[in-house]
Amino acid sequence: MSAAPDIRARAATSEDVLVEVKGLKKHFPVTQGLFVQRVIGQVKAVDGVSFTIRRGETLGLVGESGCGKTTTGRCILQLERPTAGEIVFDGVNLEKLSEKELSPLRRKIQVIFQDPYSSLNPRMKVGEIIGEPMKVHGVQPDPGKRQQRVAELLSVCGLNPKFADRYPHEMSGGQRQRVGIARALSLDPEFIICDEAVSALDVSIQAQVINLLEDLREQFGLTYLFIAHDLSVVHHLCNRVAVMYLGKVVELAESDELFDNPLHPYTQALLSAVPIPDPTIEKTRAHQTLQGEVPSPMKPPSGCVFHPRCPMAVESCKAGIPELIEKRPGHWVACTEVS
């Protein structure tokens, strides 16, 4: 895993890189024992992930449940301190900062959570939820102006400014998610992590929130890391997409390139699972169903983590860990069998 990120890093610096994740690892210890806790293993939630996000770009991060995409997001947000690796934001290595030094930088990195019901404090009014960050960071110390700004943010997010006096439980899921977005915008961030931001919403509301996210990207020049498992949403919204499997990035490419021309066998299986909204094509299409279960991240398979389920696996896959290599311009694949 050492050579590939370096080459990529060099290639990327020529462009305007906002976020750079280098060799990120997050292992959670598993302990056993009633009195004396022994560490009996490590859950390797994220195991050597590297990618860059350019300014103004939307990077999609996809993969099935438990593949480490949310943990990656939490590490970038510094909600979890990584086991190893670096996260460089706008030239600053976040891993070297203390909690105090981190505080001003937190303004620039914000998050929108999956569940609009639990991501808002039920005891606070919407106006307080959106206004509080500005108060804490001293962006808008004057209460009157802050209220004005809250109203502004609400209407930017497609909500009636009167909603400032409501409690979250008086609103629908879609409305709450808009409040979550308004809160994320309140500090004028540069980078927003959307952690399954639309997965918990109805399909019709999903579309509205996606449009809102797109509008905001234009309006405020935002950069997104869009974590999702809904591939059609990712295809629509993202410039580039990274596919994760069991804590590793297996493929990374421009969105259209990845969807038209997936190279990694896992990506191919993943894309074949997306239904096509045309019954005649859907009926005749050959589905590539993966056999077996996702292995435990506590005991990942040797070599390529995908080899037990891979239709293309050969003997050598059990031994060597494939590196993420640029097989085509801008198209990175971690598979030795792909040429």
Partner 1 sequence: MSTPEIAVDSAELVPPKRSLAEQLWSLCRRQPLGAAGGLVVVAMIAMAVFANVISPYDPEANSFEHMLSPPGADFWLGTDQFGRDIMTRIIYGARTALFVGFTAAVVGATAGLVLGVASAYFGGKFDLFFQRVMDVFMAFPLIIMALAVVAILGPGTQNVIIAITLPFIPQCARVVRSSALSIREIPYVDAARALGYGHARIILRHMAPNVVAPYLIMLTSFVGQAILLEASLSYLGLGVQEPTPAWGLMLQGGAEEYAESAPWVPVFPGLAITLAVFGFNLFGDALRDLLDPKLRSR
CB nearer partner 1, residue 151 or residue 252: 151
Question: CA 197, CA 174: separation in Å to the nearest integer?
Answer: 11
Instruction: Indicate the SS3 state at residue 133.
Output: helix
Question: CA 271, CA 173: separation in Å to the nearest integer?
Answer: 29
CB nearer partner 1, residue 121 or residue 316: 121
CB of 175 to partner 1, least distance (A): 7
| 280 C-beta neighbours (distance < 10 Å), count | 8
CB of 79 to partner 1, least distance (A): 6
CB of 133 to partner 1, least distance (A): 5
CB of 206 to partner 1, least distance (A): 11
Residues binding partner 1 (CB under 8 A): 74, 77, 79, 102-104, 106-107, 109-111, 113-115, 118-124, 132-133, 136-137, 158-160, 162-163, 166, 170, 172-175, 180, 183, 187, 205, 208
CB nearer partner 1, residue 5 or residue 131: 131
- Three-state SS string over 64-116 comes to CCCCCHHHHHHHHCCCCCCCEEEEEECCEEHHHCCHHHHHHHHCCEEEECCCC
DSSP state of 206: H
CB of 239 to partner 1, least distance (A): 24
CB nearer partner 1, residue 163 or residue 306: 163
CB of 216 to partner 1, least distance (A): 15
CB nearer partner 1, residue 116 or residue 247: 116
What is 175-191 written as a DSSP string?
Answer: HHHHHHHHHHHTT--SE
Strand ranges (E), the chain: 17-32, 38-54, 58-62, 84-89, 92-93, 109-112, 191-195, 223-228, 240-245, 248-254, 325-328, 331-333
82 Cβ contact partners less than 8 Å away, ≥ 6 residues apart: 24, 25, 26, 46, 75, 95
CB nearer partner 1, residue 154 or residue 241: 154
